[in-house]
Chain A
Amino acid sequence: MDEKKTKAIALKGRRKKHKDRKKTLILLSMVAPTSIWLILLRYIPLFGIVIAFKNYKVYTKAPTLINNVIHSKWVGFKNFFFIFATTDSLKFIRNTVCYNLVFILCGLILSVSFAIMLNEITHKFVAKTYQTLMFFPYFISWVVASYFVAALLDPSNGLITRFQLEHFGAATDFYNNPKPWPVILTLSSIWKNTGYSTILYLAAITGIDTSLYEAAAIDGATKWQQIKYVTIPNLRTMISILLIMDIGKIFNSDFGLFYNIPQNSGPLFSVTQTIDTYVYRALMQTNNISNSTAASLFQNVIGFICIMIANTIVKKIDEDSSLF
């Protein structure tokens, strides 16, 4: 009797084990396509980092990628020294960081104010219309945006250049004069991204518990006081989290903005070159693969450290909002 029972239990256990194994296999088959993609396009290129420490040359006897990498000479940190020996590198690192700081600050102030304003518009239909129009640039590529900018700045026909010619007798040669570009790039970035972050903040504002406002109103707080003492404090966590995450990405730049809006114009490089455009140009235009890899490795390592620090800080503020 007892023997029979244990046998039955064992059989049941085996069946369950079999079923579990089958389930795991099926779930593994679900993650397989993406995993293969990740291995091929994300994990294998990780090995390519060695190129940063080599002088990449095509191995003429059997020029396959792996042979090229293996047979290139080790040069240690020479590529890094080479990049940082030029004054250009200081400029493109400075550009990356400074533009990011300006974009983060302007973006924050504008989108939080716009979100608060939108929330105060009495007619919801009107507010919705504003929101729809403001969100439009988010759907436009930087290539198209560069035509919008060119419509204003074109050296012969641009709206602004013609205006300057008419009223001041001389026009700025925008695509050869680096001076106005910090402003132009900042405005372009605001134009494209503010609608998006406004919507994020607006969603956070609508999520605030209405009873807080009612309680404030009962205590006699005016709407302005409610904004100051209810809305903004309630947004504080979200603001600091988005802010810290943005600072974690401070060594990354929006390639499209810095490549397309200035139309890849050489005389502007001193104010438009960022780490990302340098990495691209070193690879595709000057064909210096080792330097390109070294620059992106530098960017990746610093970026990784920044994100880790940012995440730790966020975790301290609000456990749930951290990335991992």
Chain B
Amino acid sequence: MAKKFIKKRKRNLMSVGLPAEIIFNIVLILFALLCIIPFVFVIVISFSSEQSIRQIGYSFFPSEWSVTAYDYVFKMGDQLWRSYFNSFFVTIVGTLVSITMCILYAYALFRRDFKFRSFFTMFAFFTTLFGGGLAPTYMVCKQLLGLSDNYQALIVPALVSPFYIIVMRTFFSSSIPEELIEAAAIDGSGEYRTLVKIILPITKPGIATVSLLTALAYWNDWYLAMLYIRDAKFIPLQYLLMKMQSQVDFLVKNSAKIGAEVANVVSQLPSSTLRMALVVFVVVPITFAYPFFQRYIIAGLTIGSVKG
């Protein structure tokens, strides 16, 4: 009897109790579902027939399923494939250049024996506190640096993030003992050699975190395209999607295959399902990369929130 009581008491001290835990679970399930359901909904809509949408609107249970939207995308999605390529290209090149610059800068800031350490720390950090604002930056980029209707315009303005530099530096200082660098220097290893052969292998998780965050930012970017891109040739996925909101025919306007029949094709376009099919195309790569991303990004966020 006494034993049972103690056991029960112990249980009470270690958990919130069954009823409370059930309520917690319900609340969390509801919110978790809320986070994911919109995406499921969009998938369902993209597979509904136009007929069903006219009848009952967007619904989780369409009266008729159809793959017409995907048919259209595959048949005349020239613009879509073009944009897919642009997004992948910008994401890959942008991330590679950006992470290289970030590692180099953060590594120099991490070195205590760097003479201008505090100057360059302030030099990067100041830009997060005060800036020229959108209009001057836009005009400098467009008119002085020629960032307009080219791939550079989608890559260059997002290359540097002082926040990631600080995160990267924190990774360096938390995983590399000072003596290691001294030892390498005594062995006659050059600075760059030390960085590539010794430092980088140790900080792989940190590099993965910052790379993934950067890649995500490039993949999700539409703002730079909205500012600097007018030519459909360079439009990335996210901006294509944004344009489709107001003009669904944008997707086929530039398609070489249909040419003169544009008006005819546009009038038969399954506009609402086509839009949603495109959303699915944009989100699918993220869902595939998500498990990966999640692990590293959580590691990065928790370290980033602790100042180094």
Looking across the interface, which residue of chain B has its beta carbon closest to that of A127? B28
Looking across the interface, which residue of chain A has its beta carbon closest to that of B305? A200
Docked-complex contact B13 and A289, CB < 8 angstroms: no
Q: Cα distance A137–B301 when bound, in Å?
A: 16
Given A48-B136, A223-B16: A151 touches B38 (CB 8 Å cut-off): yes
Docked-complex contact A223 and B279, CB < 8 angstroms: no
Chain A contacts for B221, CB-based, 8 A: 141
Interface: A183 (CB within 8 A): no
Q: Cα distance A283–B223 when bound, in Å?
A: 14
Residue among A48, A136, A162, A222 making CB contact with B57, cutoff 8 Å: A162
Chain A contacts for B275, CB-based, 8 A: 147
Looking across the interface, which residue of chain B has its beta carbon closest to that of A255? B223
Chain A contacts for B24, CB-based, 8 A: 117, 120-121
Docked-complex contact B33 and A27, CB < 8 angstroms: no
Interface residue count for A (Cβ, 8 Å)?
96
> A90: shortest Cβ distance to chain B, in Å?
20
Interface string of A135-160 (1 = CB under 8 A from B): 11101110111111011001011110
Looking across the interface, which residue of chain A has its beta carbon closest to that of B119? A31
Chain A contacts for B135, CB-based, 8 A: 48, 51, 279, 282-283, 289, 292-293, 296
**One of B78-86, B170-178, B252-260, B290-298 at the interface:** B290-298
Q: Cα distance A194–B227 when bound, in Å?
A: 29
Interface: A324 (CB within 8 A): yes
Chain B interface mostly = helix
Docked-complex contact A51 and B136, CB < 8 angstroms: yes
Residue among B16, B35, B41, B104 making CB contact with A195, cutoff 8 Å: B35
Residue among B33, B100, B132, B227 making CB contact with A46, cutoff 8 Å: B132
Docked-complex contact A34 and B294, CB < 8 angstroms: no
> B129: shortest Cβ distance to chain A, in Å?
6
Q: Which of A22-56 contact B (CB under 8 A)?
A: 23-24, 26-28, 30-31, 33-35, 37-38, 40-49, 51
Task: State the B residues within 8 Å of A (CB).
Answer: 12-17, 20-21, 24-25, 27-29, 31-36, 38-39, 41-42, 45, 53, 56-59, 100-102, 104-105, 107-109, 111, 113-116, 120, 123-125, 127, 129-141, 143-145, 156-157, 159-160, 165, 190-192, 216, 220-223, 227, 238-239, 241-242, 245-246, 272, 275-276, 279, 282-283, 286, 290, 293-294, 298, 301-302, 305, 307
Additional pairs, 16, CB under 8 Å, beyond known A40-B140, A140-B39: A31-B105, A31-B109, A38-B160, A41-B145, A46-B132, A48-B135, A121-B21, A121-B25, A143-B239, A144-B283, A148-B42, A157-B57, A200-B305, A221-B13, A223-B14, A227-B16
20 A-B contacts (beta carbon < 8 Å): A26-B190, A27-B108, A27-B115, A31-B105, A34-B160, A44-B132, A46-B131, A65-B140, A114-B28, A122-B21, A137-B35, A141-B221, A147-B276, A263-B245, A280-B134, A283-B134, A293-B133, A296-B133, A307-B129, A322-B307
